[in-house]
Amino acid sequence: MNKLFVVIVAVALATAIYIPNLRAQGDDWYVSAANYARYYHFKETKLDSAATRFQFDVYMGKFYTGAWYEVAHVMSEGFGNYTSNSLSQRYFGWEDNDLTIHAGNFYQVFDRGLILNTFRDDEVGADLVLDGIQLNWRKKYLDLDLLTATPGIGDLLFGAKEMIRGGRLKFKPASKFHLGGAYVSYITDTRTNLNQVNARINLDYLDGYVEYAKRNYQVPDPDDFTRTLNKTGDGTYGLITGYYSYFTGFFEYKNYKFLSYPEIGILNTPPAVNRRDRLLQSEAANYFMSITGERGYRGNLSISWSDYWGFETDYAKAYSRDSINVYLYEYYFGIRGNYFEDNTFHTSLDLLEFSKRDETKSEFEIEYYLTDFATISLSTHMTIFEPVDSSEYTEKYLDITYAIAPNFCLSVGRSTSDNDFIRQPERKMSYIQLKYTYGNHDLTIFYGGERGGLVCSGGLCAYHPTFEGLKATLFSRF
């Protein structure tokens, strides 16, 4: 077994057992830390993979400093073998009441992300960290954010470090009215400048928000590569929310064209405006289709006439602003209820129509309270996939869970698929999973088969392959 793998496991166990007992704090200083350790054993290949992320922060009066250290040892037939260890983030700063000055690594979102949206999401493999200097100032009637930074992804994607400079200002003259704007300059060989304005108004039963962004950028002249051509793009996002008595509803609107930079939209992913959180631009990229913009809307209505009964309906539509026929529609209906004492149920139907594939997902879940803290639940869902270029297939899932809040949860489940394009062992898979919380430690142990599929978050999507074997995660806070 690889020595580094042994080190990873030893570090994870040591941090879980010993560090929480140190009680590192004084009158004007304290230390906090967190560790996220993962271990995978693949059933078929007998290979092991492990990774851990350790975060450490020290606070001394008005000053703070911290770092993230990550180690990974991956062995996989499909993706090769590699080992890495790095100080993935380091930072320090000073904060005093309303003012914070931060240097090092950080994430930043300007309003709804139309011109800047950097974040980390392990589910879709996104780590859009920045490296530079950040200033945040918060007052009663004014918010101010300034930054100058380098994208952490620069070396990987572009072969050189680019520079981002930007600022955001929000006026709050009244509690029910806000007006703001922001500017970002993305400095590369061909400069990109983005700016946006936004406004929000809040009334007794109505809340409205609108944001408009514009992009000015340069591209190489295809007829003369020594010259550049000036181009423009823009984007609009709006949200209206209303609530009265048993009724709650909202309406979202989006209209983006040549707004993303770089072109795959890494640094300014705007709202997806649908329930499954899928941007049409990202969905199309999974099928090697390139679109430069999308327009769409979403409407949602919920009615809750008691703490136990209610229903929700949701409809979303998006289509490409290019000449190609690329679209995404979603229809959703769900109802929840309590038909006799100590029981709750939820059932829903979610239909997704994409130009390359349709998905119909039906779901039913029932939960029974054995005591005030113990529950047993059964959930089942079925998804029918209808690709335009292959045969229809169905995936079915069944899960039974016993839980004692807030420390213990045991689940067993099974899934089946009649997809002719997957291997025979993957057509029927079962699993058992244990989740246990002890103090500040969350332990999850999974054994069996986990069916792969598309996972989306924040408008970005990634495909998770099917997993069979043993998986353990330990998240500790101390």
CA distance 218 to 229: 5
Q: What integer pLDDT is reported at residue 251 of this predicted model?
A: 98
Q: Which of 161, 227, 170 is nearest to 198 (CA)?
A: 170
CA distance 230 to 114: 20
Asked if 298 contacts 341 with a C-beta cutoff of 8 angstroms, the reply is no
For every residue of 321-333, which 3-state class applies, written as one string? CCCCCCEEEEEEE
pLDDT exceeds 80 at position 27: no
Q: Which of 168, 179, 192 is nearest to 267 (CA)?
A: 192
Q: Which of 195, 187, 126 is nearest to 161 (CA)?
A: 187
Asked if 235 contacts 270 with a C-beta cutoff of 8 angstroms, the reply is yes
Q: For the segment 158-195, what is each residue's pLDDT rounded down to a tens digit?
A: 444 678 999 999 999 988 999 999 999 998 766 789 99
To the nearest whole percent, how much of the chain has pLDDT over 70? 91
Q: What integer pLDDT is reported at residue 433 of this predicted model?
A: 98
Place of tokens 């209206």: 240
- DSSP state at residue 262: S
Confidence band (pLDDT; 50, 70, 90) for 313? very high
Q: What integer pLDDT is reported at residue 46 of this predicted model?
A: 86
Q: For the segment 315-342, what is each residue's pLDDT rounded down to a tens digit?
A: 999 999 987 789 999 999 999 998 777 7
Partners of 126 in the beta sheet?
121
CA distance 453 to 462: 8
Confidence band (pLDDT; 50, 70, 90) for 282? confident
pLDDT exceeds 90 at position 81: no
Q: What integer pLDDT is reported at residue 1 of this predicted model?
A: 47
Q: What is the CA radius of gyration of the chain?
A: 25
Calculate ∠ Cα 421-425-431, nearest 5°.
120
Q: What's the whole-number mean pLDDT along residues 355-362?
A: 91
Could you tell me what percentage of the chain is helix, strand and coil, using 3-state DSSP and rounding each to the nearest 5? Answer: 5, 65, 30
Partners of 396 in the beta sheet?
382, 416
Q: Which of 88, 83, 87, 86 is nearest to 4 (CA)?
A: 83
Asked if 235 contacts 256 with a C-beta cutoff of 8 angstroms, the reply is yes
Taking the CA of residue 230 as centre, how many other CA atoms within 13 Å lie in the half-sphere pointing to its CB? Answer: 2
CA distance 204 to 233: 36
Q: What integer pLDDT is reported at residue 73 of this predicted model?
A: 84
pLDDT exceeds 50 at position 458: yes
Q: Which of 212, 16, 21 is nearest to 111 (CA)?
A: 212
Q: What integer pLDDT is reported at residue 19 of this predicted model?
A: 47
**Contact residues for 126 (Cβ-Cβ < 8 A; gap 6+):** 119, 120, 457, 458, 460
Q: What integer pLDDT is reported at residue 263 of this predicted model?
A: 60
Q: What integer pLDDT is reported at residue 191 of this predicted model?
A: 79
Q: For the segment 104-160, what is each residue's pLDDT rounded down to a tens digit?
A: 999 999 999 999 999 998 888 888 899 999 999 999 999 999 999 988 744 434 444
Beta-strand relationship, 130-138 and 357-369: unpaired
pLDDT exceeds 90 at position 249: yes
Q: What's the whole-number mean pLDDT along residues 292-311?
A: 92
Encoded tokens for 192: 């990109």
Domains of the chain, start order = 97-271 (2.40.160.10)
Q: Which of 52, 89, 51 is nearest to 68 (CA)?
A: 89
Q: What's the whole-number mean pLDDT along residues 24-44?
A: 86
Q: What integer pLDDT is reported at residue 459 of this predicted model?
A: 83
CA distance 94 to 135: 10
Least confident of 5-9, 69-73, 126-130: 5-9
